[in-house]
């Protein structure tokens, strides 16, 4: 295989277009470009929209990632405050029924108990 690639490399260095062929190719390409012009670039006012979209999407992904990671944090860790002060407060507004609200409150209490059990085991209580 290496022998064939070396031969192709040598052959590629020896083959070249004549001036007449280059001129004909250039003329053909100009004709194609004139027949099928490239669409104009996006107007400047659309540029900021796409940049704003990218920035907004980045912010959403970063904040979402932090929020997702905070869900697994324990008391004393840096993201625990986000878990309790932001994530859980947002979820307080999500339940649409009294039963869903009660289930969420029960889930929060179960989380606190699980966190206490982990901490107690960690510190030998």
pLDDT single digits (tens) 86-114: 999 988 888 788 888 899 899 999 999 99
Q: What is the pLDDT of residues 18-57, one digit of tens each?
A: 889 889 989 998 998 888 877 765 555 566 778 889 999 9
Residues contacting residue 73 through CB under 8 Å, at least 6 positions apart = 79, 80, 82, 83
Q: Which two tokens stand for residue 98?
A: 């009294």
pTM check: above 0.85: no
Q: Which residue has the tokens 């990632």?
A: 65
- The C-alpha atoms of residue 73 and residue 68 are separated, in whole angstroms, by 10
**In Å, how far are 10, 18, 49, 72 from 22, measured between CA atoms?**
21, 6, 43, 65
Q: Which residue has the tokens 């699980």?
A: 114
């Amino acid at each position: 295989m290496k022998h064939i690639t070396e031969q192709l490399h040598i052959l590629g260095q020896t083959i070249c277009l004549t001036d007449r062929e280059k001129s004909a190719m250039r003329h053909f390409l100009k004709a194609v470009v004139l027949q099928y012009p490239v669409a104009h670039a996006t107007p400047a006012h659309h540029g900021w929209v796409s940049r704003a979209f990218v920035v907004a999407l980045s912010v959403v992904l970063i904040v979402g990632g932090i929020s997702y990671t905070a869900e697994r944090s324990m008391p004393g860790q840096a993201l625990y405050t986000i878990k309790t002060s932001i994530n859980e407060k947002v979820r307080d507004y999500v339940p649409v029924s009294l039963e869903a609200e009660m289930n969420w409150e029960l889930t929060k209490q179960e989380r606190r108990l699980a966190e206490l059990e982990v901490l107690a085991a960690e510190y030998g209580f």
